[in-house]
Amino acid sequence: MKPILSIQNEELILQRYPARENDTLQAWDSADEYLINTLAERNLDPTRPILIFNDSFGALSNWLSTRGCIYNISDSFIAQQACRENLKENAKASINYLNCRDSLPKNPQAVIIKIPKNNRLLKWQLDQIAQVVSADCDVIAGAKTKEIHTSTLRLFEQKLGETHTSLAVKKSRLIFCRPNSHRPSNPSTEQATIWSVPEYNFTLFNHVNVFAGEKLDIGARFFLEHLPQDPAAEHIIDLGCGNGVIGLQCARLNPDARVTCVDESDMAVASARENADRNLTNPDQLNAMMNNCLTGMQPETADWVVCNPPFHQQNTITDHIAWQMFCDAKHVLKMKGKLRIIGNRHLGYHVKLKRLFGNVTTIASNNKFVILEAEKRPTRTTS
């Protein structure tokens, strides 16, 4: 049975993306419900834009789709694909999609924000919002109560104007903000960062929503020491690439191979592309693309897949993304192609790899991380 959100005399079928059988994770939360119930009390003008930021799986966009000119703004390919699928499932009107680097429509009547986990992304979004809102615009943000801090309220005050919060309902709270008509016309904006990794001669560019925005994280630093160098390799995939630093080093170690960097974040993909242009002698050696893992990629076309799997989706801890990455990697690898991953020691990825590939080798480990490798081998048949 498909999960249904019953709210305001409407039933919405809402699933995470990609849809999985017997998924125990819900595609909406109490902050979505609180926002919808609050918006239901307002008279919305169907001719003026409504901007929705960080709509995790489309709950807000689905409910609002018939109530105005809707813009879904997100850095997440998966979140927007979920929204598209849920709109189709509910036979709702199509809406407009923007990434976080796109220009926003002017003079919106309302701006709805699910507060993101990354505070730098929130600052970036508030800076962009400040450029287009007028004093009659309702800005309403929602999140779990534990995710709204005094510093969050100060940020809304600083970037937009007078701010107050609601009472908590089902452990969620709303922020209400009224843009100040006298705010600076050109406020300071959150910027992408540029920093160096001298031991690898890299200069790295990071958009605001890309992990490790100011220095190389310890996992990436360890992984860089143990990447494949294979003269026979023709195609290497950096899956979940972030700023592309792992793909860059793979390109340098394997100058005759094509390298494909894949991530579901638009800002990550844009950062990886920028970093290839900055750091590679032949930038065309590296291609960066946005995708849900390796969906739609041709089978048996890669010699290597390297990966640092995430263990959360939005704010939910889960291992299904890692499992999908491993399954997709096996699909696109050539026979005898190899998947090499890094993960925290406690995550137990060796069990998953052994189950899927039938083999797993420990390449390196320290007190925090383990680097594992699995080879795609012919499936054994019994007579």
Give the model confidence (pLDDT) of 67-79 as tens digits.
989 999 999 999 9
Domain ranges of the chain: 4-179, 193-375
Cβ proximity of 336 and 377 under 8 Å: yes
- Within 85-197, strands assigned E span 96-98, 110-114, 138-144, 161-165, 172-179, 193-197
pLDDT in tens, 193-212: 999 999 999 999 999 999 88
> Cα–Cα–Cα angle for 193, 125, 116, nearest 5°?
90
40 phi-psi bin (left φ>0, alpha ψ -120 to 50, beta other): alpha
Q: What is the mean pLDDT of residues 132-146?
A: 96
Residue 31 or 183, more confident: 31
Model pLDDT for residues 275-290, shown as the tens digit of each residue: 999 999 999 999 999 9
For the chain, the average pLDDT equals: 94
Mean pLDDT across the stretch 4-31? 92
Burial of residue 61 (number of CB atoms within 10 Å: 0-12, 13-18, 19+): buried
The CATH code of the domain at 193-375 is 3.40.50.150
pLDDT-derived band at 317 (thresholds 50, 70, 90) equals: very low
- Residue 183: pLDDT above 90? no
Top CATH class of 4-179 equals alpha beta
Does residue 313 register a pLDDT over 50?
A: no
Domains 4-179 and 193-375 share a fold: yes
Cα separation, 110 vs 127, in Å, equals 16
Cα-to-chain-centroid distance, residue 138: 26
Q: Has residue 303 got a pLDDT over 90?
A: yes
Query: Is the pLDDT at 320 greater than 90, yes or no?
Result: no
Number of H helices, E strands in the chain: 10, 20
Residue found by looking up tokens 């793909």 in the block: 247
